[in-house]
Structure 1
Amino acid sequence: MNSHVSAASPASAVASAEARVAAYDWKALAGELDSFGCAVLTKLLAPEECRAIAGLYPDESHFRSHVLMARHGFGKGEYRYFRYPLPDLLGGLRTVLYPHLADVANEWNVRMGIDERYPDEHASFLKQCHAAGQMRPTPLLLQYVPGDFNCLHQDLYGDLAFPIQVAILLSEPGRDFTGGEFALTEQRPRMQSRVEVVPLRQGDAVAFAVHNRPVRGPKGNYRVNLRHGVSRVRSGMRHTVGIIFHDAR
């Protein structure tokens, strides 16, 4: 495996990820998630880390399954789900991003009147997933070529689904590919749907609501339904890594 991805031990990878994740203004990011359903973490990965992760795609030994989107009506393009153990860098990021997002998720559940609360540590949440029969890792690496797109969807995978996930763009727009914008739609009760197109550069990550989130209205909080997708790639090749925090059945 490429040294930029997995030269460090899992413990040192977590420590490295913790330092870079702690450097963000999480109060501001939580505010953006609360206001728009998404927030951008600029330059979460360095260019060489992006290239190293994208470079894993052809090597099937890193993955548990390969999905061709067109076969399932998901769009056009393909992706591979990582197997355990995850590459150290991705495993470290999954571990240290989770507590910041769990704070937001728990506040959302309070406002939506949902009883479920997420534990402080990701390992504890994964134990809950595994006890519920959700054992398969969900982080994935996506690859798009010209004409490919990802239909609007929600990544749920089982009864236990963490309500926020993170996608990291590994390719540079305008150099490696054109088109392929990340889009988020929000279906609001008795109103037209709202669309958020999120501009990203190589190494930028977007954290976004997977399914529902609360919105404050004049009569209190109401629940909106979200879906996300990727517009048509016009040229080149686009790679993205998705960090989903719950495991799948």
Structure 2
Amino acid sequence: MNAPSDFTPAGPAVKSAEERLSRYDWDAFAEDLDRFGCATLKGVLTPQECRDLAALYPEEAHFRSHIHMARHGFGKGEYRYFKYPLPDLLGGLRTALWPRLAVVANNWNARMGIDERYPDAHADFLRQCHEAGQTRPTPLLLQYVEGDFNCLHQDLYGDLAFPLQVAFLLSEPGRDFTGGEFVLTEQRPRMQSRAEVVPLMQGDAVAFAVHNRPVQGTRGTYRVNLRHGVSRLRSGKRHTVGIIFHDAK
């Protein structure tokens, strides 16, 4: 088994990602996550970076597995899980996003009465994953063509699951594809489910709750259950890259 240090991104990749992320208002970002269960970061990736990442899809050398959604009842479309080491851009962003998201995740767990707290460094969390037998990388590249969709789901790959993940839209809406909106649903106790449709442009990122999030009610804080998916693609081709922070069994 590899140690987390064997696939931690190089310093320059992390520094570049940290500089890229420093321009965002993270207090407003955390507030949106608290209010809606999701928050967007505009223009994280350049159009060229988006095209370069999407162009990796047919290159087998970058990936550990290839999933056809229809075979598993996940929807219609396909995706590939990256293998370690991740591309520098993705590895750097995964490492640099972690401490900002961990603050939110620790706050959520405290409010929901969950004892688990997440460490300051992502490598330390990966070490916990690997000690629990979760050793397979989970960042993935998704591809949809006309008629494809992704059923509402949760990306839980083992007992350890970080409560937030991030997806980046690599294709340009209106030019590369139509339809294919990112959808988040929230199941509230004794109430009907709430849907959130998140408009994204090429290079934008959306962070969202993987499983549960806290909501303040009249009688205190309670948990709501969330699922995410992608609506039917009306035309063209759509690529997305997803960063999941826990590894899989």
Q: TM-score if structure 1 supplies the norm length?
A: 0.96
Counterpart mapping for 1:118-133 below 5 A: 118-133=118-133
Q: Encode CA deviations 1:145-164: one digit per residue, 9 max, x unaligned.
A: 00000000000100000000
Q: CA deviation at 1:97?
A: 0.3
Kindly provide the amino acid, as one letter, of the partner of residue 166 in structure 2.
V
Kindly provide the amino acid, as one letter, of the partner of residue 92 in structure 2.
G
Kindly provide the amino acid, as one letter, of the partner of residue 46 in structure 1.
T
Secondary structure of the corresponding residue to residue 157 of structure 2: coil
> How many pairs were matched up?
241
- CA RMSD in angstroms comes to 0.6
Q: Encode CA deviations 1:217-240: one digit per residue, 9 max, x unaligned.
A: 111101000000000000000000
Secondary structure of the corresponding residue to residue 222 of structure 1: strand
Distance 2:128 2:111 in 1: 23
Q: CA deviation at 1:11?
A: 1.6
Distance 2:122 2:96 in 1: 8
Q: Encode CA deviations 1:19-78: one digit per residue, 9 max, x unaligned.
A: 011211100000000000000000010000000000000000000000000000000000
Distance 1:44 1:184 in 2: 21
Task: Report what 2:191 is aligned to.
Answer: 191
Distance 1:12 1:112 in 2: 37
Task: Report what 1:141 is aligned to.
Answer: 141
Task: Report what 1:232 is aligned to.
Answer: 232
Q: CA deviation at 1:10?
A: 2.4
Task: Report what 1:4 is aligned to.
Answer: none
Task: Report what 1:3 is aligned to.
Answer: none
Secondary structure of the corresponding residue to residue 237 of structure 1: strand
Kindly provide the amino acid, as one letter, of the partner of residue 218 in structure 2.
P
The ranges of structure 1 where at least 4 consecutive aligned residues each deviate by more than 6 angstroms after the TM superposition are none
Secondary structure of the corresponding residue to residue 136 of structure 1: coil
Task: Report what 1:177 is aligned to.
Answer: 177
Kindly provide the amino acid, as one letter, of the partner of residue 65 in structure 1.
S
Q: Encode CA deviations 1:124-153: one digit per residue, 9 max, x unaligned.
A: 000000000000000000000000000000
